[in-house]
Amino acid sequence: MDSPTFNQLKTLLGEVYDLNGALSVLGWDQQTYMPPGGSEERGAAMATISRIMHLKITSDELQKCLMDCESQLSGLDPDSDEARLVKVTRREVNRRIRIPADWVAEFAEATSIGQEKWEEAKGTSNFLRFQPYLERIMELRREYASFFQPYDHIYDPMLDEFEPGLKTADVQQIFSVLRDKQVQLIHELKSRPQVESAFLRQFFPENSQWDFGVDVITNMGFDWNRGRQDNSAHPFTTTFGMGDVRITTRVIPDNLGSALFSTIHEGGHALYEQGFSPSLLRTPLATGASMAVHESQSRMWENLVGRSKSFWSFYYPKLQQLFPTQLGNVSMEMFYKGINRVEPSLIRTESDEATYNLHIMLRLEIEIALLERNVDVRDLPDLWRTRMQEYLGVSPHDDAHGVLQDIHWAGGLIGYFPTYALGNVISAQFWEKIKKDIPDLDEQIAHGQFRNLLEWLRGKIHVHGAKFETQELVQKVTGSKIDPGPYLTYLNTKFREVYS
């Protein structure tokens, strides 16, 4: 390819990358350190930068440059960084040119304020304080869908933002397989004696919890020279650049699992973001392939690694040493079963692997109903309670433990939730392959050694960044497309053993 043209494209995309990184800094600060008074001006600043970024991506200058590059693609390896950069840029430009810049700015402002209001509403468990802001966000999201008409499904444009190439119908098909089999498994487990887990609900000092999580992700390979961890109401990972990937957690003194597994989860995201090829620096390829692939990494570390017997055969003695009075009388076997207790519960992020996907399905259903105007925002608290009862047989006593539990809608992330369940599915597909490639992986993990695992993930997945779409990448790595089979096998095997 003619290198001046391509270099110009990289320069233009570098500026977009910079603006995107700045937006991430503003968002991170908003959720970690910003005083309440900063809310309004922060919303304005994020709106302005979002608008400028959008105008840059859709500028005549960038489009012309992109077309010049496209005309020079022939002869280039279609999997090369160059060819993929052009392809991914085209996909994003085509999506963006349908969206007016004013919408982008309004959406940025609405979601910035939305997250503030959500936090207030959640803190007081008062949905009414959040309702008008969520109404505005849903209105904007319906408007967003309208930019992409005609579509097969109103949810398709939402999904496409997080899962390029995937359709709502695909997700629904995968989910229907999962739903039947998972409900069946849960039903089966219910008939067996419940495992003990009350010991996780003792008092565990915050500092010790924090330090233990830090030890674990350090050992996983988190690079503190290129990242940090802070507190926030809702744990998240954010990337300012390949040299600065940040995670957050929240430590709950009487819940040992909460911070620990969220730290491992976000650590999994962060390892992905810290692992892109340096050749992708300051390009749109320096990001995850999709949110489902991202979740495959975070959920893999959290569950397939972090809730495994091998993991705890290494870490449990250390945890007992840290909390001798709380865990001294709890055996490793009891602990392992306790952190894998299956029980329909209220909070998605703290739910077990067997019920987790049902939380997602409920959210998908509600998101579609909201977009199709089959339900009003004001009716959400009731709807939430009804559906939780149907799906999981439990119902929240307040909205903080119900419809207000997740920050996603406040941040405008409609279409994001399915990626968690898809991530679970994909993580098990990857895991099958990893176990073939590293036969003694369990033993390595049982010695606290994650290097080979991380190297495998780096080489097969991380290094590519966003070069490949989800189905393409899953096919490339595992030889088949997204397939719920391995995840269901994993669930059935694991939980029949836990509940044996």
What backbone phi and psi angles, to 5 degrees, belong to 223?
-95, 105
Residue number, 223 or 379, with CB nearest to its own copies: 223
User: What is the end-to-end Cα distance of the chain in Å, rounded?
Assistant: 61
Residue number, 26 or 364, with CB nearest to its own copies: 26
User: Shortest Cβ distance from residue 188 to its own copies (Å)?
Assistant: 47
Binding residue for its own copies, selected from 6, 52, 96, 277, defined by CB under 8 A: 52
Count the residues of the shown chain that bind its own copies, applying the rule CB under 8 A: 39
Per-residue x/- track, 229-268, its own copies (CB under 8 A)? -x---------xxxxx------------------------
15 counts as binding its own copies under rule CB under 8 A:
yes
User: Shortest Cβ distance from residue 228 to its own copies (Å)?
Assistant: 5
Residue number, 117 or 282, with CB nearest to its own copies: 282
135 counts as binding its own copies under rule CB under 8 A:
no
Residues in 282-311 at the binding interface with its own copies, rule: CB under 8 A: 282
**Is position 266 annotated as part of the catalytic site?**
yes
Residue number, 38 or 448, with CB nearest to its own copies: 38
Binding residue for its own copies, selected from 164, 213, 221, 227, defined by CB under 8 A: 227
The two tokens of residue 415 are 């279409």
User: Shortest Cβ distance from residue 46 to its own copies (Å)?
Assistant: 8
User: Shortest Cβ distance from residue 390 to its own copies (Å)?
Assistant: 43
40 counts as binding its own copies under rule CB under 8 A:
yes
Residue number, 26 or 138, with CB nearest to its own copies: 26
Binding residue for its own copies, selected from 5, 22, 76, 143, defined by CB under 8 A: 22
User: Shortest Cβ distance from residue 242 to its own copies (Å)?
Assistant: 7
Residue number, 112 or 419, with CB nearest to its own copies: 112
Residue number, 32 or 125, with CB nearest to its own copies: 32
Surface-to-core class of residue 477, CB atoms within 10 Å of its CB (0-12 exposed, 13-18 middle, 19+ buried):
buried
HEC assignment per residue over the chain: CCHHHHHHHHHHHHHHHHHHHHHHHHHHHHHHCCCHHHHHHHHHHHHHHHHHHHHHHCCHHHHHHHHHHHCCCCCCCCCCHHHHHHHHHHHHHHHHCCCCHHHHHHHHHHHHHHHHHHHHHHHCCCHHHCHHHHHHHHHHHHHHHHCCCCCCCCCHHHHHHHCCCCCHHHHHHHHHHHHHHHHHHHHHHHCCCCCCCHHHHCCCCHHHHHHHHHHHHHHHCCCHHHEEEEECCCCCEEEEECCEEEEEECCCCCCHHHHHHHHHHHHHHHHHHCCCCHHHCCCCCCCCCCHHHHHHHHHHHHHHHCCCHHHHHHHHHHHHHHCHHHHCCCCHHHHHHHHCCCCCCCCHHHCCHHHHHHHHHHHHHHHHHHHCCCCCHHHHHHHHHHHHHHHHCCCCCCHHHCCCCCCCCCCCCCCCCHHHHHHHHHHHHHHHHHHHHCCCHHHHHHCCCCHHHHHHHHHHCHHHCCCCCHHHHHHHHHCCCCCCHHHHHHHHHHHHHHCC
Residues in 198-217 at the binding interface with its own copies, rule: CB under 8 A: none
- C-alpha to C-alpha distance for 98 and 290, rounded to whole angstroms: 21
User: Shortest Cβ distance from residue 223 to its own copies (Å)?
Assistant: 7
User: Shortest Cβ distance from residue 229 to its own copies (Å)?
Assistant: 10
Which residues, including other chains, have CB under 8 Å from residue 253's CB and lie 6 or more apart?
A: 203, 204, 205, 206, 209
Q: What residues pair up with 238 in beta bridges, in sequence order? A: 246
19 counts as binding its own copies under rule CB under 8 A:
yes
Q: Which of 119, 266, 353, 469 is catalytic?
A: 266
Residue number, 22 or 334, with CB nearest to its own copies: 22
User: Shortest Cβ distance from residue 343 to its own copies (Å)?
Assistant: 38
500 counts as binding its own copies under rule CB under 8 A:
no
Residue number, 58 or 296, with CB nearest to its own copies: 58
228 counts as binding its own copies under rule CB under 8 A:
yes
270 counts as binding its own copies under rule CB under 8 A:
no
Binding residue for its own copies, selected from 44, 76, 183, 446, defined by CB under 8 A: 44
**In this chain, which stretch among 46-54, 77-85, 114-122, 303-311 interacts with its own copies, using CB under 8 A?**
46-54
123 counts as binding its own copies under rule CB under 8 A:
no
User: Shortest Cβ distance from residue 8 to its own copies (Å)?
Assistant: 15
180 counts as binding its own copies under rule CB under 8 A:
no
Residue 265: HSE in the Cβ half-sphere, 13 Å Cα cutoff: 20
Enzyme catalytic residues: 266
For its own copies, the binding residues (CB under 8 A) are 14-15, 18-19, 21-22, 25-26, 29, 33-42, 44-45, 47-49, 52, 223-228, 230, 240-244, 281-282
